[in-house]
Structure 1
Amino acid sequence: MQIAASSALVTGGASGLGLATARRIIDRGGRVVIADISDELGSKAVADLGGGARFARADITDEAAVEAALDVAQEQGPLRFVVHCAGRGGDRSRVVAGDGTPGGLATFTEVVRINLIGTYNVLRLGAARIAALDTLDDGDRGAIVLTASVAAFDGQIGQSSYSASKAGVHGMTLVAARDLAGRKIRVNTIAPGVMDTPMLGRLRSDIRDRLAASVPHPHRLGAPDDFARLAVEMLENPYLNGQTIRLDGAIRMPPR
Protein backbone atom coordinates (compact mmCIF):
# COMPACT_ATOMS: atom_id res chain seq x y z
CA MET A 1 0.00 0.00 0.00
CA GLN A 2 1.04 3.54 -0.67
CA ILE A 3 0.39 6.20 1.95
CA ALA A 4 0.56 9.06 -0.55
CA ALA A 5 -2.79 10.68 -1.37
CA SER A 6 -4.56 8.79 1.43
CA SER A 7 -5.86 9.99 4.78
CA ALA A 8 -5.04 8.62 8.22
CA LEU A 9 -6.52 9.02 11.69
CA VAL A 10 -3.86 9.01 14.41
CA THR A 11 -5.20 8.91 17.95
CA GLY A 12 -2.98 10.34 20.65
CA GLY A 13 -1.30 12.16 17.80
CA ALA A 14 -0.63 15.41 19.62
CA SER A 15 2.55 14.16 21.28
CA GLY A 16 4.99 11.28 21.63
CA LEU A 17 4.47 8.14 19.54
CA GLY A 18 1.41 9.48 17.74
CA LEU A 19 3.01 12.78 16.77
CA ALA A 20 6.08 11.03 15.38
CA THR A 21 3.83 8.70 13.38
CA ALA A 22 1.78 11.59 12.01
CA ARG A 23 5.00 13.25 10.85
CA ARG A 24 6.14 10.09 9.06
CA ILE A 25 2.78 9.72 7.31
CA ILE A 26 2.87 13.32 6.11
CA ASP A 27 6.46 12.88 4.91
CA ARG A 28 5.17 10.04 2.71
CA GLY A 29 2.55 12.26 1.13
CA GLY A 30 -0.40 11.30 3.30
CA ARG A 31 -2.76 13.55 5.20
CA VAL A 32 -3.42 13.15 8.92
CA VAL A 33 -6.14 13.95 11.38
CA ILE A 34 -4.86 14.00 14.94
CA ALA A 35 -7.41 12.87 17.51
CA ASP A 36 -6.47 13.85 21.04
CA ILE A 37 -8.05 15.20 24.22
CA SER A 38 -5.71 18.21 24.50
CA ASP A 39 -6.74 21.22 22.43
CA GLU A 40 -3.49 22.98 23.30
CA LEU A 41 -1.22 20.12 22.24
CA GLY A 42 -3.38 19.36 19.22
CA SER A 43 -3.15 22.91 17.92
CA LYS A 44 0.60 22.96 18.51
CA ALA A 45 1.06 19.63 16.69
CA VAL A 46 -0.90 20.84 13.66
CA ALA A 47 1.20 24.00 13.54
CA ASP A 48 4.39 21.94 13.71
CA LEU A 49 3.27 19.45 11.06
CA GLY A 50 2.06 22.01 8.54
CA GLY A 51 -0.70 21.81 5.95
CA GLY A 52 -1.01 18.03 5.89
CA ALA A 53 -2.53 17.82 9.37
CA ARG A 54 -5.78 18.71 11.10
CA PHE A 55 -6.90 18.31 14.70
CA ALA A 56 -10.10 16.80 16.07
CA ARG A 57 -10.69 16.72 19.80
CA ALA A 58 -11.81 13.22 20.76
CA ASP A 59 -12.07 10.95 23.76
CA ILE A 60 -11.37 7.49 22.33
CA THR A 61 -14.13 5.93 24.45
CA ASP A 62 -16.75 8.35 23.06
CA GLU A 63 -18.39 6.91 19.95
CA ALA A 64 -19.72 10.23 18.69
CA ALA A 65 -16.37 11.99 19.16
CA VAL A 66 -14.46 9.27 17.30
CA GLU A 67 -17.04 9.29 14.50
CA ALA A 68 -16.63 13.07 14.21
CA ALA A 69 -12.84 12.71 13.99
CA LEU A 70 -13.28 10.09 11.27
CA ASP A 71 -15.56 12.51 9.40
CA VAL A 72 -12.76 15.08 9.41
CA ALA A 73 -10.29 12.46 8.22
CA GLN A 74 -12.55 11.52 5.32
CA GLU A 75 -12.70 15.16 4.27
CA GLN A 76 -8.92 14.97 3.79
CA GLY A 77 -9.04 12.09 1.31
CA PRO A 78 -9.79 8.37 1.21
CA LEU A 79 -9.43 7.15 4.81
CA ARG A 80 -7.32 4.00 4.50
CA PHE A 81 -5.25 4.13 7.70
CA VAL A 82 -5.80 4.27 11.44
CA VAL A 83 -2.93 4.34 13.94
CA HIS A 84 -4.17 4.13 17.51
CA CYS A 85 -1.67 5.47 20.06
CA ALA A 86 -3.96 7.01 22.68
CA GLY A 87 -4.07 5.48 26.14
CA ARG A 88 -3.04 5.91 29.77
CA GLY A 89 -0.80 4.33 32.36
CA GLY A 90 -1.82 2.35 35.41
CA ASP A 91 -1.62 3.27 39.07
CA ARG A 92 0.80 0.63 40.43
CA SER A 93 -1.80 -0.94 42.73
CA ARG A 94 -1.18 -4.46 44.00
CA VAL A 95 -3.91 -7.08 43.99
CA VAL A 96 -3.75 -6.97 47.79
CA ALA A 97 -2.39 -3.78 49.36
CA GLY A 98 0.23 -3.69 52.09
CA ASP A 99 -2.43 -3.26 54.75
CA GLY A 100 -4.27 -6.36 53.55
CA THR A 101 -7.11 -4.61 51.75
CA PRO A 102 -8.06 -5.65 48.20
CA GLY A 103 -6.75 -3.55 45.36
CA GLY A 104 -9.08 -0.83 44.14
CA LEU A 105 -11.60 -1.71 41.44
CA ALA A 106 -12.36 1.79 40.19
CA THR A 107 -8.89 2.51 38.79
CA PHE A 108 -8.61 -0.98 37.30
CA THR A 109 -11.91 -0.44 35.53
CA GLU A 110 -10.90 3.00 34.27
CA VAL A 111 -7.58 1.79 32.84
CA VAL A 112 -9.29 -1.09 31.03
CA ARG A 113 -12.03 1.26 29.81
CA ILE A 114 -9.55 3.63 28.20
CA ASN A 115 -6.83 1.26 27.01
CA LEU A 116 -8.90 -1.73 25.91
CA ILE A 117 -12.46 -0.58 25.33
CA GLY A 118 -11.15 2.66 23.82
CA THR A 119 -8.94 0.65 21.47
CA TYR A 120 -11.85 -1.52 20.38
CA ASN A 121 -14.00 1.55 19.83
CA VAL A 122 -11.42 3.13 17.50
CA LEU A 123 -10.78 -0.21 15.78
CA ARG A 124 -14.42 -0.97 15.01
CA LEU A 125 -15.36 2.54 13.90
CA GLY A 126 -12.22 3.03 11.81
CA ALA A 127 -12.55 -0.38 10.18
CA ALA A 128 -16.15 0.34 9.18
CA ARG A 129 -15.06 3.50 7.36
CA ILE A 130 -12.18 1.75 5.59
CA ALA A 131 -14.45 -1.15 4.61
CA ALA A 132 -16.64 1.21 2.56
CA LEU A 133 -13.76 2.03 0.17
CA ASP A 134 -12.83 0.27 -3.05
CA THR A 135 -9.90 -2.13 -2.90
CA LEU A 136 -6.58 -1.04 -4.36
CA ASP A 137 -4.55 -2.86 -7.00
CA ASP A 138 -2.66 -4.87 -4.35
CA GLY A 139 -5.97 -6.13 -2.91
CA ASP A 140 -5.89 -4.04 0.28
CA ARG A 141 -8.52 -1.56 1.37
CA GLY A 142 -6.51 -0.23 4.28
CA ALA A 143 -4.60 -1.02 7.44
CA ILE A 144 -4.85 -0.40 11.17
CA VAL A 145 -2.07 -0.26 13.76
CA LEU A 146 -2.83 -0.63 17.47
CA THR A 147 -0.56 -0.02 20.46
CA ALA A 148 0.00 -2.54 23.25
CA SER A 149 3.07 -2.66 25.52
CA VAL A 150 5.73 -5.08 26.67
CA ALA A 151 3.69 -5.02 29.89
CA ALA A 152 1.26 -7.29 28.06
CA PHE A 153 3.93 -9.99 28.40
CA ASP A 154 6.23 -8.82 31.23
CA GLY A 155 3.87 -7.09 33.63
CA GLN A 156 5.60 -5.76 36.72
CA ILE A 157 4.38 -5.77 40.31
CA GLY A 158 1.48 -3.35 40.65
CA GLN A 159 0.72 -3.29 36.90
CA SER A 160 -2.37 -5.50 36.93
CA SER A 161 -4.67 -2.95 35.30
CA TYR A 162 -2.19 -1.74 32.69
CA SER A 163 -0.92 -5.23 31.84
CA ALA A 164 -4.44 -6.61 31.55
CA SER A 165 -5.52 -3.79 29.25
CA LYS A 166 -2.50 -4.13 26.97
CA ALA A 167 -2.69 -7.93 26.94
CA GLY A 168 -6.25 -7.46 25.74
CA VAL A 169 -5.03 -5.33 22.82
CA HIS A 170 -2.55 -8.05 21.90
CA GLY A 171 -5.29 -10.66 22.23
CA MET A 172 -7.66 -8.89 19.86
CA THR A 173 -5.04 -8.32 17.15
CA LEU A 174 -5.15 -11.70 15.42
CA VAL A 175 -8.91 -11.97 15.90
CA ALA A 176 -9.43 -8.54 14.33
CA ALA A 177 -7.14 -9.41 11.42
CA ARG A 178 -9.16 -12.56 10.81
CA ASP A 179 -12.49 -10.75 11.24
CA LEU A 180 -11.44 -8.09 8.73
CA ALA A 181 -9.65 -10.33 6.23
CA GLY A 182 -12.78 -10.57 4.10
CA ARG A 183 -12.89 -6.77 4.09
CA LYS A 184 -9.24 -6.65 2.94
CA ILE A 185 -8.15 -4.67 6.00
CA ARG A 186 -4.95 -5.61 7.83
CA VAL A 187 -4.50 -5.19 11.59
CA ASN A 188 -1.19 -5.21 13.45
CA THR A 189 -0.03 -4.09 16.89
CA ILE A 190 3.20 -2.60 18.25
CA ALA A 191 4.21 -3.47 21.82
CA PRO A 192 6.71 -0.75 22.79
CA GLY A 193 9.28 -1.14 25.54
CA VAL A 194 10.75 1.78 27.46
CA MET A 195 10.03 4.73 25.16
CA ASP A 196 11.14 8.35 25.52
CA THR A 197 7.65 9.82 25.66
CA PRO A 198 6.33 12.84 27.61
CA MET A 199 5.15 10.43 30.33
CA LEU A 200 8.71 9.21 30.87
CA GLY A 201 10.03 12.74 30.56
CA ARG A 202 8.57 13.53 33.98
CA LEU A 203 11.00 11.11 35.65
CA ARG A 204 14.28 12.22 37.21
CA SER A 205 17.31 12.02 34.92
CA ASP A 206 18.97 9.31 37.04
CA ILE A 207 15.87 7.08 36.73
CA ARG A 208 15.75 7.66 32.98
CA ASP A 209 19.46 6.77 32.72
CA ARG A 210 18.90 3.59 34.70
CA LEU A 211 16.02 2.58 32.46
CA ALA A 212 18.10 3.24 29.35
CA ALA A 213 20.98 1.16 30.71
CA SER A 214 18.61 -1.78 31.28
CA VAL A 215 17.96 -2.12 27.54
CA PRO A 216 20.30 -4.83 26.16
CA HIS A 217 20.95 -3.12 22.82
CA PRO A 218 20.94 -0.29 22.10
CA HIS A 219 21.51 1.18 25.57
CA ARG A 220 18.95 3.95 25.22
CA LEU A 221 15.27 4.69 25.55
CA GLY A 222 13.20 4.03 22.49
CA ALA A 223 12.63 7.12 20.37
CA PRO A 224 9.11 8.02 19.19
CA ASP A 225 10.44 7.85 15.64
CA ASP A 226 11.45 4.20 16.21
CA PHE A 227 7.76 3.53 16.77
CA ALA A 228 6.73 5.67 13.80
CA ARG A 229 9.04 3.81 11.41
CA LEU A 230 7.53 0.49 12.40
CA ALA A 231 3.98 1.83 12.27
CA VAL A 232 4.49 3.07 8.70
CA GLU A 233 5.98 -0.30 7.69
CA MET A 234 2.90 -2.01 9.12
CA LEU A 235 0.68 0.29 7.08
CA GLU A 236 2.54 -0.23 3.83
CA ASN A 237 3.69 -3.87 3.92
CA PRO A 238 0.89 -5.91 2.28
CA TYR A 239 1.90 -9.24 3.83
CA LEU A 240 2.21 -8.05 7.42
CA ASN A 241 -1.03 -8.94 9.18
CA GLY A 242 -2.27 -10.18 12.54
CA GLN A 243 1.03 -9.57 14.31
CA THR A 244 2.05 -8.03 17.61
CA ILE A 245 5.68 -6.93 17.33
CA ARG A 246 7.73 -6.00 20.38
CA LEU A 247 9.75 -2.82 19.88
CA ASP A 248 11.97 -2.94 22.92
CA GLY A 249 15.71 -3.40 22.28
CA ALA A 250 15.40 -7.00 23.57
CA ILE A 251 14.40 -5.89 27.08
CA ARG A 252 12.46 -8.23 29.34
CA MET A 253 11.00 -6.34 32.27
CA PRO A 254 11.95 -7.54 35.77
CA PRO A 255 9.26 -8.10 38.44
CA ARG A 256 9.80 -4.60 39.85
Structure 2
Amino acid sequence: MRIGVLGCGWLGLPLAKKLVSKQHTVKGSTTSLQKLPDLEEHGIKSYYIELFEDVIQGTITQFLDELDILIVDIPPGLRKDPNSSFIAKIEQLCSCIVLSSIEQIVFTSSISVYAEGYPFPTHTEDSTLYSSTRSAEQLLAAEKLIKGLPQTSLILRLGGLIGEDRHPVHNLAGKTLKNGSAPINLVHRNDVISLILNSLKWIESIPTLNVVYPDHTPKKIYYQDKAEMIGLKPPTFEHSGKPTGKIIHSKAEELIPNFFYQQKV
Protein backbone atom coordinates (compact mmCIF):
# COMPACT_ATOMS: atom_id res chain seq x y z
CA MET A 1 0.00 0.00 0.00
CA ARG A 2 0.97 3.65 -0.40
CA ILE A 3 0.99 5.14 3.08
CA GLY A 4 1.77 8.61 4.37
CA VAL A 5 2.82 9.28 7.97
CA LEU A 6 2.13 12.91 8.78
CA GLY A 7 4.39 13.55 11.75
CA CYS A 8 7.52 11.39 11.89
CA GLY A 9 8.30 12.08 15.53
CA TRP A 10 8.83 9.78 18.53
CA LEU A 11 5.99 7.49 17.45
CA GLY A 12 5.64 8.32 13.75
CA LEU A 13 9.25 7.68 12.68
CA PRO A 14 9.56 4.09 14.00
CA LEU A 15 6.08 3.45 12.61
CA ALA A 16 7.18 4.66 9.17
CA LYS A 17 10.31 2.49 9.38
CA LYS A 18 8.21 -0.54 10.24
CA LEU A 19 5.88 0.13 7.31
CA VAL A 20 8.91 0.26 4.98
CA SER A 21 10.10 -3.08 6.36
CA LYS A 22 6.69 -4.51 5.44
CA GLN A 23 7.28 -3.48 1.81
CA HIS A 24 4.82 -0.58 1.79
CA THR A 25 5.60 2.60 -0.15
CA VAL A 26 5.96 5.22 2.59
CA LYS A 27 6.00 9.01 2.65
CA GLY A 28 6.86 10.80 5.87
CA SER A 29 6.74 14.39 7.05
CA THR A 30 8.72 16.35 9.60
CA THR A 31 8.78 19.96 10.78
CA SER A 32 12.58 19.87 10.85
CA LEU A 33 14.56 20.29 7.64
CA GLN A 34 17.52 18.68 9.39
CA LYS A 35 15.60 15.40 9.78
CA LEU A 36 14.77 14.99 6.10
CA PRO A 37 17.99 13.08 5.23
CA ASP A 38 17.40 10.66 8.11
CA LEU A 39 13.98 9.75 6.74
CA GLU A 40 15.41 9.21 3.26
CA GLU A 41 18.13 6.92 4.65
CA HIS A 42 15.42 4.62 5.96
CA GLY A 43 13.56 4.40 2.67
CA ILE A 44 10.96 7.02 3.58
CA LYS A 45 10.27 9.68 0.97
CA SER A 46 10.58 12.81 3.10
CA TYR A 47 8.68 16.09 3.11
CA TYR A 48 8.89 19.24 5.21
CA ILE A 49 5.35 20.04 6.36
CA GLU A 50 4.26 22.26 9.24
CA LEU A 51 0.66 23.04 10.12
CA PHE A 52 -0.33 26.52 11.24
CA GLU A 53 -3.74 27.98 11.98
CA ASP A 54 -3.96 29.89 8.70
CA VAL A 55 -1.59 28.04 6.38
CA ILE A 56 0.33 24.81 5.83
CA GLN A 57 4.00 25.35 5.11
CA GLY A 58 5.72 22.85 2.88
CA THR A 59 4.69 20.58 0.04
CA ILE A 60 1.43 19.20 1.43
CA THR A 61 -0.14 18.58 -2.00
CA GLN A 62 2.82 16.52 -3.18
CA PHE A 63 2.87 14.64 0.12
CA LEU A 64 -0.80 13.64 -0.13
CA ASP A 65 -0.60 12.81 -3.84
CA GLU A 66 -1.15 9.13 -4.75
CA LEU A 67 -1.58 7.93 -1.16
CA ASP A 68 -4.00 5.16 -0.22
CA ILE A 69 -3.80 5.67 3.55
CA LEU A 70 -2.85 8.71 5.62
CA ILE A 71 -1.73 8.30 9.23
CA VAL A 72 -2.00 11.60 11.13
CA ASP A 73 0.27 11.65 14.19
CA ILE A 74 0.70 15.29 15.14
CA PRO A 75 0.37 16.50 18.76
CA PRO A 76 -1.95 19.42 19.58
CA GLY A 77 1.05 21.36 20.96
CA LEU A 78 -1.06 23.15 23.57
CA ARG A 79 1.52 22.74 26.33
CA LYS A 80 4.02 24.71 24.31
CA ASP A 81 1.46 27.24 23.09
CA PRO A 82 -1.77 27.14 25.17
CA ASN A 83 -3.43 29.79 23.00
CA SER A 84 -2.94 27.99 19.69
CA SER A 85 -5.83 26.33 17.87
CA PHE A 86 -5.30 22.69 16.99
CA ILE A 87 -8.78 22.75 15.47
CA ALA A 88 -7.74 25.42 12.95
CA LYS A 89 -4.67 23.38 12.01
CA ILE A 90 -6.75 20.27 11.38
CA GLU A 91 -9.21 22.35 9.36
CA GLN A 92 -6.31 23.38 7.13
CA LEU A 93 -5.28 19.75 6.76
CA CYS A 94 -8.82 18.55 6.02
CA SER A 95 -9.22 21.10 3.24
CA CYS A 96 -6.25 19.42 1.53
CA ILE A 97 -7.26 15.83 2.30
CA VAL A 98 -10.69 16.28 0.76
CA LEU A 99 -9.05 17.15 -2.58
CA SER A 100 -6.70 14.17 -2.51
CA SER A 101 -7.01 10.56 -3.65
CA ILE A 102 -6.64 9.24 -0.09
CA GLU A 103 -9.14 6.51 0.75
CA GLN A 104 -8.52 5.92 4.44
CA ILE A 105 -7.24 7.90 7.45
CA VAL A 106 -5.81 6.86 10.81
CA PHE A 107 -5.88 9.71 13.35
CA THR A 108 -4.10 9.50 16.71
CA SER A 109 -6.07 11.10 19.52
CA SER A 110 -5.94 10.65 23.31
CA ILE A 111 -7.86 9.11 26.21
CA SER A 112 -7.99 12.63 27.70
CA VAL A 113 -11.41 12.87 26.02
CA TYR A 114 -12.85 10.64 28.78
CA ALA A 115 -13.90 12.04 32.16
CA GLU A 116 -12.10 11.39 35.42
CA GLY A 117 -13.87 11.05 38.75
CA TYR A 118 -14.25 9.19 42.02
CA PRO A 119 -15.14 6.38 42.23
CA PHE A 120 -13.00 5.89 39.14
CA PRO A 121 -15.27 5.61 36.07
CA THR A 122 -14.61 2.85 33.56
CA HIS A 123 -14.67 3.89 29.91
CA THR A 124 -14.87 1.94 26.67
CA GLU A 125 -15.01 3.18 23.08
CA ASP A 126 -18.77 3.58 23.57
CA SER A 127 -18.55 5.85 26.63
CA THR A 128 -19.77 9.43 26.72
CA LEU A 129 -17.01 11.88 25.78
CA TYR A 130 -15.95 14.73 28.03
CA SER A 131 -14.24 17.98 27.08
CA SER A 132 -13.46 19.62 30.42
CA THR A 133 -9.94 20.65 29.39
CA ARG A 134 -8.90 22.76 26.41
CA SER A 135 -6.80 19.90 25.08
CA ALA A 136 -9.69 17.42 25.25
CA GLU A 137 -12.06 19.95 23.69
CA GLN A 138 -9.74 20.50 20.75
CA LEU A 139 -9.03 16.81 20.27
CA LEU A 140 -12.76 16.03 20.18
CA ALA A 141 -13.32 18.78 17.62
CA ALA A 142 -10.39 17.47 15.55
CA GLU A 143 -11.82 13.94 15.68
CA LYS A 144 -15.16 15.30 14.43
CA LEU A 145 -13.45 17.05 11.53
CA ILE A 146 -11.67 13.86 10.50
CA LYS A 147 -14.86 11.81 10.79
CA GLY A 148 -16.67 14.40 8.65
CA LEU A 149 -14.40 13.76 5.67
CA PRO A 150 -15.60 11.50 2.84
CA GLN A 151 -12.70 9.13 3.51
CA THR A 152 -13.05 6.17 5.87
CA SER A 153 -11.33 6.92 9.18
CA LEU A 154 -10.09 5.16 12.29
CA ILE A 155 -9.63 7.22 15.47
CA LEU A 156 -7.04 5.82 17.90
CA ARG A 157 -7.32 7.19 21.45
CA LEU A 158 -3.90 6.49 22.93
CA GLY A 159 -3.09 6.03 26.59
CA GLY A 160 0.07 7.48 28.10
CA LEU A 161 2.89 6.49 25.75
CA ILE A 162 6.01 4.79 27.09
CA GLY A 163 9.02 3.20 25.40
CA GLU A 164 12.55 1.98 25.96
CA ASP A 165 13.80 5.57 25.93
CA ARG A 166 10.76 7.27 27.45
CA HIS A 167 8.99 6.68 30.76
CA PRO A 168 7.25 9.19 33.07
CA VAL A 169 8.91 7.73 36.16
CA HIS A 170 12.10 9.60 35.24
CA ASN A 171 10.26 12.91 35.70
CA LEU A 172 8.36 11.77 38.80
CA ALA A 173 11.28 10.29 40.77
CA GLY A 174 11.71 11.88 44.21
CA LYS A 175 8.65 14.14 43.84
CA THR A 176 5.58 14.39 46.06
CA LEU A 177 2.46 13.58 44.07
CA LYS A 178 -1.31 13.26 44.46
CA ASN A 179 -3.82 10.65 43.29
CA GLY A 180 -1.76 7.68 44.41
CA SER A 181 -4.72 5.31 44.28
CA ALA A 182 -5.74 6.39 40.77
CA PRO A 183 -5.16 3.71 38.10
CA ILE A 184 -2.55 3.90 35.36
CA ASN A 185 -3.59 3.94 31.69
CA LEU A 186 -0.36 3.43 29.74
CA VAL A 187 0.67 1.77 26.50
CA HIS A 188 4.03 0.88 24.98
CA ARG A 189 4.99 2.49 21.67
CA ASN A 190 5.72 -0.92 20.13
CA ASP A 191 2.16 -2.05 20.81
CA VAL A 192 0.74 1.11 19.22
CA ILE A 193 2.81 0.45 16.11
CA SER A 194 1.75 -3.20 16.07
CA LEU A 195 -1.92 -2.23 16.39
CA ILE A 196 -1.70 0.28 13.53
CA LEU A 197 -0.08 -2.29 11.25
CA ASN A 198 -2.71 -4.89 12.14
CA SER A 199 -5.62 -2.46 11.78
CA LEU A 200 -4.87 -1.21 8.25
CA LYS A 201 -7.00 -3.94 6.67
CA TRP A 202 -9.89 -3.28 9.05
CA ILE A 203 -10.25 0.52 9.00
CA GLU A 204 -13.61 0.38 7.25
CA SER A 205 -15.19 -1.70 10.02
CA ILE A 206 -13.77 0.00 13.14
CA PRO A 207 -14.39 3.75 13.64
CA THR A 208 -12.70 4.18 17.06
CA LEU A 209 -10.29 2.25 19.29
CA ASN A 210 -8.83 2.92 22.70
CA VAL A 211 -5.19 1.86 22.82
CA VAL A 212 -4.32 1.11 26.44
CA TYR A 213 -2.49 -1.81 28.04
CA PRO A 214 -4.89 -3.83 30.25
CA ASP A 215 -3.07 -3.14 33.52
CA HIS A 216 -4.56 -0.52 35.82
CA THR A 217 -2.33 -0.77 38.89
CA PRO A 218 -2.67 2.20 41.30
CA LYS A 219 -0.15 4.91 40.46
CA LYS A 220 1.51 4.78 43.88
CA ILE A 221 2.32 1.09 43.60
CA TYR A 222 3.25 1.28 39.94
CA TYR A 223 5.59 4.28 40.04
CA GLN A 224 7.27 3.39 43.31
CA ASP A 225 7.98 -0.14 42.09
CA LYS A 226 9.16 1.12 38.71
CA ALA A 227 11.49 3.70 40.29
CA GLU A 228 13.10 1.11 42.57
CA MET A 229 13.44 -1.30 39.65
CA ILE A 230 15.61 1.12 37.67
CA GLY A 231 17.46 2.65 40.62
CA LEU A 232 15.62 5.96 41.00
CA LYS A 233 14.34 7.60 44.17
CA PRO A 234 10.66 6.59 44.43
CA PRO A 235 8.07 9.35 44.45
CA THR A 236 5.89 9.86 47.52
CA PHE A 237 2.15 10.37 47.44
CA GLU A 238 -0.09 12.62 49.52
CA HIS A 239 -3.28 11.18 51.00
CA SER A 240 -5.32 14.38 51.30
CA GLY A 241 -8.62 14.73 49.46
CA LYS A 242 -10.43 12.38 47.12
CA PRO A 243 -8.34 11.02 44.26
CA THR A 244 -9.57 11.37 40.70
CA GLY A 245 -8.89 9.04 37.84
CA LYS A 246 -10.40 6.66 35.28
CA ILE A 247 -10.02 3.16 33.91
CA ILE A 248 -9.82 2.82 30.12
CA HIS A 249 -10.73 -0.46 28.49
CA SER A 250 -9.88 -1.27 24.89
CA LYS A 251 -11.63 -3.50 22.38
CA ALA A 252 -8.48 -3.76 20.27
CA GLU A 253 -7.73 -7.41 21.05
CA GLU A 254 -11.38 -8.26 20.42
CA LEU A 255 -11.77 -6.39 17.12
CA ILE A 256 -8.35 -6.58 15.43
CA PRO A 257 -7.45 -10.10 14.24
CA ASN A 258 -3.96 -11.27 15.20
CA PHE A 259 -3.39 -8.38 17.60
CA PHE A 260 -2.71 -8.58 21.32
CA TYR A 261 -0.76 -6.35 23.71
CA GLN A 262 2.73 -7.80 24.18
CA GLN A 263 4.79 -5.01 25.79
CA LYS A 264 4.18 -4.89 29.54
CA VAL A 265 4.08 -1.31 30.82
* 1:186 corresponding residue in structure 2: 152
Cα distance, 1:54–1:237 mapped onto 2, change above 3 Å = same
Asked whether the 8 Å contact 1:145–1:234 carries over to 2, the reply is no
Are 2:59 and 1:86 aligned? no
One-letter code of the match for 1:10? V
Are 2:121 and 1:152 aligned? no
Are 2:221 and 1:229 aligned? no
Out of 35, 38, 58, the position equivalent to 2:32 is 38
> How many correspondences in the alignment?
200
Distance 1:69 1:121 in 2: 10
Asked whether the 8 Å contact 1:186–1:240 carries over to 2, the reply is no
Deviations 1:199-227 (A, max 9, x none): x938552638x99x9437xxxx4222322
Alpha-carbon deviation of 1:36? 1.7
Q: Provide the TM-score with structure 1 as the length reference.
A: 0.63
Percent of aligned pairs with the same amino acid: 12
* 1:167 corresponding residue in structure 2: 140
Asked whether the 8 Å contact 2:90–2:145 carries over to 1, the reply is no
Alpha-carbon deviation of 1:40? 2.7
CA RMSD of aligned residues (A): 3.7
Alpha-carbon deviation of 1:46? 3.3
One-letter code of the match for 1:245? L
Distance 1:204 1:238 in 2: 34
Distance 1:35 1:163 in 2: 25
* 1:11 corresponding residue in structure 2: 6
Asked whether the 8 Å contact 2:76–2:139 carries over to 1, the reply is no
Distance 1:246 1:123 in 2: 23
Point out the structure with max Rg over C-alpha. 2
Asked whether the 8 Å contact 1:152–1:170 carries over to 2, the reply is no
Asked whether the 8 Å contact 1:191–1:245 carries over to 2, the reply is yes
One-letter code of the match for 1:117? A
* 2:205 corresponding residue in structure 1: 240
* 2:122 corresponding residue in structure 1: none
One-letter code of the match for 1:191? R
* 1:109 corresponding residue in structure 2: 83
Can you give the 5+ residue segments of structure 2 that lack an aligned partner in the other structure?
118-131, 220-242, 246-265
* 1:54 corresponding residue in structure 2: 45
Out of 71, 96, 109, the position equivalent to 2:62 is 71
Can you give the 5+ residue segments of structure 1 that lack an aligned partner in the other structure?
93-106, 132-141
Find the residue that maps to 1:237 and give its secondary structure.
helix
* 1:118 corresponding residue in structure 2: 89
Asked whether the 8 Å contact 1:63–1:121 carries over to 2, the reply is yes
One-letter code of the match for 1:82? L
* 1:130 corresponding residue in structure 2: 101
Find the residue that maps to 1:190 and give its secondary structure.
strand
Distance 1:160 1:59 in 2: 25
Higher relative contact order (CA 8 A, sep 6+): 1
Q: Provide the TM-score with structure 2 as the length reference.
A: 0.61
Alpha-carbon deviation of 1:54? 1.9
Q: Which has the higher strand share?
A: 2
Alpha-carbon deviation of 1:196? 2.0
Alpha-carbon deviation of 1:151? 0.7
Asked whether the 8 Å contact 1:149–1:166 carries over to 2, the reply is yes
